[in-house]
């Protein structure tokens, strides 16, 4: 116990140091894992496992997370930073408890039951006689105290309010903006629905522009350099001429630039023909003409020509049907309200 020279308050230095340590340990673990508060408090010494890589034989440390919202356990890769935090926690517990980690039982406030005795990592001795697992409320108290000491405020001048769940959002945002696929981030966070993970992400305008420019640069490296040179005058004229030749009898040709016509300009067969609604009458005339020509070919035994004309007839009929359906859908979106009637009072 010491006396604060400024206020005369008696300060328990040991307690202050203990609270500062656990505040640091909680924040560091949350930000390096993105786990939920309940999952944090469930971590025990038994949750540290290892996995041997099949290709290299290397041992990789993993952290086993007990599920808090679903029935699926998950394993998180222990980064060097997280390994350092967990090692410090374990060393502190062993130093203060005779070289062992005490077995403690955590109270589940939702189920209203005590869990089994386990070597929980987030345990302390707040009352001086026995170790207890840190409660959910104490976690929030530590976060509030840490923010109060920083003096940080929001845009309205109010003190910032942080919860353990905010670290999940920060973890997800940093992971995805750092290049981790969002479906992998969903597995790390324990989300069954990808949309849940996407709701956690905070994508800022600078990150959006930077990521998209990086994507364009990477895509450009996969294309031949010749495609990015300046076109010659002849090439530019040829490109413009392509659009000038798009106008056809029944509408507009949607064939991409630089591609050949696969239907030998038999536009009525081509799926790239964009019909002009004003040419509906002309399309009906073509259908009648094709019908007569099919009959003529069959009467004369020109079976090959009849088959080709039949293909054109089917394509023309489909275009007429599609045009009428599009017109019906367009008309259905227009509601005639009529003129308002003014009643005499």
CA distances (Å), origin 90, targets 94, 107, 204, 277: 6, 21, 38, 77
Query: What are residue 52's DSSP bridge partners?
Result: 59
Helix or strand run (H / E) with residue 60: strand 59-65
> What are 307-332's pLDDT values in tens digits?
988 988 998 999 889 888 887 776 66
- The answer to whether 274 and 249 have CB atoms below 8 angstroms apart is no
pLDDT value for 334: 60
User: How many angstroms separate the CA atoms of 299 and 233, rounded?
Assistant: 54
The answer to whether 142 and 23 are in contact (CB under 8 A) is yes
- The predicted model gives 222-242 an average pLDDT of 81
Nearest to 141 by CA among 29, 35, 23: 23
Q: Are 129 and 123 in contact (CB under 8 A)?
A: no
String of DSSP letters for 137-199: HHHHHHHHHHHHHHT-B-TTSPBP---HHHHHHHHHHHHHHTT--HHHHHHHHT-SSHHHHHH
Given a cut of 60, whether residue 345 has pLDDT beyond it is: no
Residue 186: is its pLDDT beyond 90? Answer: no
SS3 breakdown of the chain: % helix, strand, coil, rounded to 5?
Answer: 50, 10, 35
Q: Where are the domains of the chain?
A: 2-161, 165-229, 248-331
Residue, of 183 and 5, whose pLDDT is higher = 183
pLDDT at 205 over 70: no
Per residue in 8-56, pLDDT (tens digit) is 554 455 788 888 999 999 999 999 998 889 999 999 999 998 888 877 8
Q: Indicate the DSSP class of residue 228.
A: G
- Looking at CATH, the fold of the domain delimited by 2-161 is given as hpI Integrase; Chain A (1.10.443)
State residue 208's pLDDT score: 62
DSSP three-state, residue 13:
helix
Mean pLDDT of the chain: 82
Phi, psi (deg, nearest 5) at residue 57 = 80, 10
For residue 226 the two structure tokens come to: 């010749």
Q: For 70-91, what is the mean pLDDT?
A: 87
pLDDT at 2 (0 to 100): 41
Q: In the structure, what pLDDT confidence band is assigned to residue 71 with cuts at 50, 70 and 90?
A: low
Note the pTM of the prediction, 2 decimals: 0.56
DSSP string, 204-216: -HHHHHHHHHHHH
Q: Which residue has the higher pLDDT, 40 or 71?
A: 40
Lowest-pLDDT range of 3-17, 188-202, 232-246: 3-17
30 neighbors 167 (Cβ within 8 angstroms): yes
pLDDT for 173 beyond 80: yes
- Torsion, Cα of 145, 146, 149, 155 (10° steps): -100
**CA angle at 303 for the pair 299 and 309, rounded to the nearest 5°:** 90
Sequence-separated contacts (24+) of 210-216 with Cβ below 8 Å = 211/177
Q: Report whether pLDDT(259) > 50.
A: yes
């Amino acid at each position: 116990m010491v006396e604060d020279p400024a206020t005369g308050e008696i300060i328990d230095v040991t307690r202050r140091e203990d609270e500062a340590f656990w505040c640091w340990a909680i924040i560091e673990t949350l930000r390096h894992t993105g786990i939920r508060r309940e999952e944090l408090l469930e971590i025990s010494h038994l949750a540290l496992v290892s996995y041997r890589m099949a290709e290299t034989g290397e041992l990789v440390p993993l952290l086993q997370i007990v599920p808090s919202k679903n029935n699926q356990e998950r394993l998180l890769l222990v980064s060097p930073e997280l390994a350092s935090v967990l090692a410090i926690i374990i060393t502190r517990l062993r130093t203060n408890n005779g070289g062992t980690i005490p077995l403690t039982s955590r109270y589940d406030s939702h189920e209203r039951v005590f869990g089994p005795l386990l070597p929980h990592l987030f345990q302390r001795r707040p009352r001086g006689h026995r170790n207890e697992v840190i409660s959910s409320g104490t976690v929030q108290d530590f976060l509030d105290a840490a923010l109060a000491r920083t003096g940080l405020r929001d845009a309205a001048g109010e003190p910032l309010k942080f919860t353990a769940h905010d670290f999940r959002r920060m973890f997800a945002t940093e992971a995805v903006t750092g290049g981790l696929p969002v479906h992998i981030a969903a597995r790390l966070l324990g989300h069954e629905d990808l949309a849940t993970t996407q709701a956690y992400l905070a994508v800022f305008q600078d990150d959006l522009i930077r990521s998209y420019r990086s994507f364009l640069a990477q895509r450009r490296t996969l294309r031949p350099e010749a495609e990015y040179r300046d076109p010659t005058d002849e090439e530019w004229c040829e490109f413009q001429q392509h659009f000038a030749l798009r106008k056809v009898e029944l509408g507009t040709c949607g064939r991409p630039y630089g591609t050949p016509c696969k239907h030998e300009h038999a536009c009525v067969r081509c799926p790239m023909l964009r019909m002009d609604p004003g040419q509906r009458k002309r399309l009906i005339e073509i259908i009648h003409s094709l019908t007569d020509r099919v009959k003529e070919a069959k009467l004369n035994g020109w079976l090959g020509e009849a088959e080709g004309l039949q293909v054109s007839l089917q394509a023309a009929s489909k275009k007429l049907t599609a045009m009428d359906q599009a017109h019906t859908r367009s008309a259905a979106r227009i509601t005639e309200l009529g003129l308002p009637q003014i009643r005499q009072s």
